[in-house]
Chains A and B, each alone.
Chain A
């Protein structure tokens, strides 16, 4: 499935739009599922290490995209601070649990942070309506995909730490993640079909 938006990415000129991070995110998630995860499981006999590393990569790439499209410099600083905090926390969580459990806490925080950044982006867009219709922009569809994906998988990720070894739960986990992945990929595809608007990082909106 991710091959569709990956292919569509190249249809329009997307230089300096920040969407390269989403393209990278899709490519890496595909590579992770096909190559990295099987290798990690083979060597470490656990799938959690792969998940933990991917959580950080997923957060970093989504945040880099949102950082690029958000104009407010103060909020961008807050994103940087929160990101440093999250990476430090994830590292300690990795060391403490010795990668033997699902990283529910970092994943939960990642979901909340990405949702917050996305809400802020949408809020910024309605405050400064420089586009005729918000849904005619590719960034809007990417942000909506992120909001729906991370809000939809938030609860299942939170519950995973203690229940991941349960086959019934794992089946539910896979089902929910797959459904939201499909939704996300579908929305990314819509986004990549639309001509991208250039990011304007220099212009900051007034401090709220």
Chain B
């Protein structure tokens, strides 16, 4: 500070006044400049954040729309099943059991009752099938491993494709809601593979690592990469993929579509943080 101490005689020197004037002015300009810079910078940051938020909101909107559309389609399918299958069956049963039945001879009566019973059994089976498609009983009673095994066996049983799965470590079940969501994702992925990939096999593997649950599906047909997946998620196409994305989001997990290093297989990896089932 000594260098700044000016003696009294120097005050008359115009240089000191100039230093004082420009020093004060300079400091003031610097201070105001700094404040203006900070205000503008913060506005720019906020604008950028708002843009990001808007993009995220749009993405959420697309996912929500996809989810609503999926729900509507599912309802329509159930409504169609009930209306086209269960409705006519029950109407036929009613015809067999109308009031004229009492005027018939005993043999005709017994035949009509038998036919009506058959139709009611068919209807029960039909409603059971609808119920199972909504919530697979194997999944509810025996867990994800059994449900996926069951699904793959059914696919393999058709003879059109070789489907296999292997759970390496699934001693501790995930929470039922998580299992259902994962099962739906697998169902959708397998459905897509069957519909679009023209592959000769599907293989699913499961494992745990660092508190994360992993599922990987391999197939040798035509597949998509992560880039395609993200692109389709942003477009109006790919309702199933959007459902997968929204389910993965609910699970706080991650999904990755990639082509194998050998460029022969496509693989899909699902990664979900572990939340064990609470045993009461």
Contact = CB atoms under 8 A, between A and B. Distances in A.
B27 interface: yes
A122 interface: yes
Given A126-B42, A134-B39, A162 B27 contact: no
Interface stretch (A1-9, A46-54, A63-71, A143-151): A143-151
Contacts of A119: 34
A98 B23 CA distance: 29
**Interface SS of B by simple majority:** helix
A90 interface: no
A148 B28 contact: yes
A129 B46 contact: yes
Interface in B1-40: 1, 4-8, 11, 16-17, 19-20, 23-24, 27-28, 30-32, 34-35, 38-39
A155, A156, A161 pick with most chain B CB within 10 angstroms? A155
B166 interface: no
Nearest to A158: B4
A30 B275 CA distance: 63
Contact of B38 (A132, A134, A176): A134
Interface in A133-190: 133-135, 144, 147-148, 151-156, 158-159, 161-163, 165-166, 168-169, 172, 176
Contacts of A163: 6, 8, 11
A136 to B, nearest CB: 11
B220 to A, nearest CB: 47
24 contacts: A104-B1, A104-B5, A108-B1, A115-B31, A119-B34, A122-B35, A123-B38, A125-B42, A134-B42, A147-B31, A148-B28, A148-B35, A151-B27, A151-B31, A152-B24, A152-B27, A154-B23, A155-B27, A162-B5, A162-B6, A163-B8, A163-B11, A166-B8, A169-B11
